[in-house]
Amino acid sequence: ECDYYAGPGHKWLLGPEGTGALYVRLDLLPSLQPAAVSSHAALNWDNAGHFEPASGSSEKFELTSSNVPMLLGVMAAIDFLQGIGGMPAVQERWQGLTERLRRRLSAVPGVAVTSPPAGPTASGLVTFTVAGWEPRALVTPLWEREKVVIRAVPFPAGVRASVDFFNTEDEMDRLAGIVATLAKQGPAA
């Protein structure tokens, strides 16, 4: 029940970077035009300039040959996720871990969680601020002292943790504990 849907093959799907998919409802396919075309975009053509578009075909978006290893990588990622219970199990897992991290961080004095709470707009991304700390300045001690990979984001300004199903409860607790220590010490430490 959607018109268009695009998604990356990497990130949460765990496939190779540079892969993805575009779904277009079949009756809307003729109205969507490619930015550039190749012979795949034509039902037929000739060197005299005759061009009959393949407006109802998804092949009109194929500009060159396919990168088979990348496509196989996405397929392997999908097979892997299906093998561990499918996307519902993956989603349930990261939602639980994300909520655990949100609760732990929210309990730390001076920490404000700015990402959406559980619900339809929630994701495995937990963005937070620590009073007295510039987000970029907080990233450095997290890496240097504890080897926590995290990044600063510009809007809303904060530090963002990316939680996925393969993370552990201990990792969520450890991150919250490290942030609590840094919040108590302040940036001068």
The predicted-structure confidence for 141-166, as pLDDT tens digits, reads as follows 999 988 999 999 998 899 999 999 99
Q: Indicate the pTM of the whole model.
A: 0.77
> Is pLDDT of 40 > 70?
no
pLDDT at 173: 97
pLDDT category of residue 13 using cuts at 50, 70 and 90: confident
Sheet hosting strand 151-154, strand order edge to edge: 111-113, 125-130, 157-162, 151-154
Are the CB atoms for 47 and 41 separated by under 8 Å? Answer: no
Are the CB atoms for 157 and 129 separated by under 8 Å? Answer: yes
pLDDT tens-digit map of 53-68: 777 777 777 777 778 9
> Is pLDDT of 37 > 80?
no
pLDDT at 135: 94
pLDDT at 189: 58
